[in-house]
Amino acid sequence: MKRISFISTLLVFSCFAYAQEPKISARTDSAQYKIGQWVLLHVDAQLPQGVDSLVPVPRDSVGPFEILAIEPAQPADGHQQWTFRLTMFDTGNVFIPPIAFAYRSNADTTFRLAYSNTLSLSIVGIPIDVKGDIKDIKPPLDAPWRFEDFLPYLIALAVLLLAGLAYYYYRKKRKEREAALLPPKPTIPPGQTALAALRVLEDKHLWQQGKVKQYYSEVTEIVRRFFEDQFGLLALESTSDEILDQLHRLPEAAPLQARCRSFLTTADLVKFAKYQPAPEEHERELRSAYEIVRTLIPKPSPEPEAQEVEDVR
C-alpha cells in the first residue's frame, strides 16, 4: 500500500513538473494586409521558474509567409519577446501556423518544444482600375545622400592626395640630391651671347633679301638685350632716348655716346619712319653693334704678380 502511495505521489509531481512549460502567445497589428506588405508578428513568451530562455527553431518560412528578419528583445521579468518580419505575395485567407521554440529547464538536459498559437489573416490585392488608362512605370526614387555614402570616396581621395604629395616630395628631394652632385653649369657672359647672336644675324642675310625692317629690329634687340643683361638697364621696354639717358650714367659707355645714338636713331627711322638706308648703311649698322658690344665687355682684371717668399731659416 505504501508503495502504491509513493508511486502515485511521484506521478503527480512528474506531471506537475512537465506541465510547467512556457506560455507563448502570438499576435499581429492587423487582421488584414496588402500583398507584399510587411506583417509584424509579435511573439510574447512567459517563462516558468527554472527556464531561463527560449530559442526559436531556425527556419526560413512560416507557412506561406517568408521570414525576412527576427528581432529579439531583451528578456526581463520572466518574459521574452520577438518580432518576426513576414511577407507573402499571394492573396486570400491564410494562417500563420504555430512557431516552435526550443527550451530546456535547469534541472534537465533534454530540449523540449513549445509552440505559439495559430493566427488567421486576410491578404488582399491592390485594387486596379480596369477602365482607366494604362500608366507608365514610376521612375525610381532618389535616395537621400548620407555621409556614409561619400566616406569611401573621401578616403580614396585622401589616399590619392597623400600618395601624390609623397611622390612630389620624393621627386623634389631626388632632384635636389642630383643637383648637388652635378657640377654647376658654366654661365655664358652677356657679351659672348650678344656676339654669337650678331654672327647668326649676319649669316641670315636679311637685308639682302629685302627684309630690312626685320634686320634692324633684330640687330637693335640684340644690343638692347646686351645692355639689360650686362648692366641691368631696362633696355627692352625703353625708348631710344631713355636708353641713351641710362647709358649716360655709365662711365664705361661715355666714349660710345655718339655711336649708340647714331645706331639707335637709324634703327628707329627704319622701323617707324619707313626710311630706306643704302646698303653701306646696313653694313655700318652691324659694325656699330659689334663695336658697342666689344667695347662694353668687361675687361678681365690683371692678376697680381706673384710675390717671392724667402725661406726663413
Could you say which DSSP state residue 182 is in? S
Could you say which DSSP state residue 261 is in? H
> Which amino acid makes up residue 131?
K
- 117 and 212 together in one domain: no
Report residue 273 as a C-alpha cell.
619712319
Q: Is the pLDDT higher at 299 or at 41?
A: 41
The answer to whether residue 104 sits within a structural domain is yes
The domain total for the chain is 2
What pLDDT is attached to residue 10? 43
User: What does the pLDDT average to over 137-166?
Assistant: 88
Q: Report the alpha-carbon distance of residue 293 to residue 290 in Å, rounded.
A: 5
Tell the residue number behind the cell numbers 663695336, with chain if given.
291
What is the DSSP pairing of strand 32-34 with strand 119-124?
parallel
- 33 and 110 together in one domain: yes
Report residue 289 as a C-alpha cell.
653693334
Asked whether residue 203 carries a pLDDT value surpassing 90, the answer given is yes
Distance of CA 280 to the CA centre of its chain: 67
The answer to whether residue 1 sits within a structural domain is no
- CATH number for position 89: 2.60.40.740
The answer to whether residue 217 sits within a structural domain is yes
User: What does the pLDDT average to over 151-159?
Assistant: 92
Asked whether residue 168 carries a pLDDT value surpassing 70, the answer given is yes
Walk across the sheet containing 79-87 and list its strands.
Answer: 23-28, 39-46, 79-87, 65-72, 61-62
Decide which of 124, 150, 179 is a domain's last residue.
124
Decide which of 102, 124, 146 is a domain's last residue.
124
* Domain membership of residue 25 as a residue range: 19-124
pTM confidence score? 0.42
The answer to whether residue 221 sits within a structural domain is yes
Asked whether residue 303 carries a pLDDT value surpassing 60, the answer given is no
CB 62 within 8 A of CB 84: yes
Decide which of 95, 124, 153 is a domain's last residue.
124
User: What does the pLDDT average to over 191-210?
Assistant: 91
Q: What is the DSSP string of 202-227?
A: HHHTTGGGT-HHHHHHHHHHHHHHHH
Mean pLDDT score of the chain: 84
pLDDT in tens, 255-289: 888 889 999 999 899 888 888 888 898 899 999 99
Distance of CA 269 to the CA centre of its chain: 60
Q: Report the alpha-carbon distance of residue 216 to residue 268 in Å, rounded.
A: 8
Tell the residue number behind the cell numbers 647709358, with chain if given.
247
Q: Report the alpha-carbon distance of residue 68 to residue 84 in Å, rounded.
A: 8
- 199 and 285 together in one domain: yes
- 116 and 195 together in one domain: no
- 30 and 119 together in one domain: yes
- 194 and 280 together in one domain: yes
The answer to whether residue 35 sits within a structural domain is yes
Whole-number Cα distances in Å, 245 to 28, 148, 194, 249: 104, 71, 22, 7
- 207 and 286 together in one domain: yes
**CA geometry: angle at 72 spanning 70 and 73, to 5°?**
150
CB 203 within 8 A of CB 218: no
The answer to whether residue 130 sits within a structural domain is no
The answer to whether residue 136 sits within a structural domain is no
What pLDDT is attached to residue 302? 60
The answer to whether residue 28 sits within a structural domain is yes
Q: State percent of the chain over pLDDT 90.
A: 39
User: What does the pLDDT average to over 116-131?
Assistant: 87
CA nearest 229: which of 198, 190, 195, 264?
190
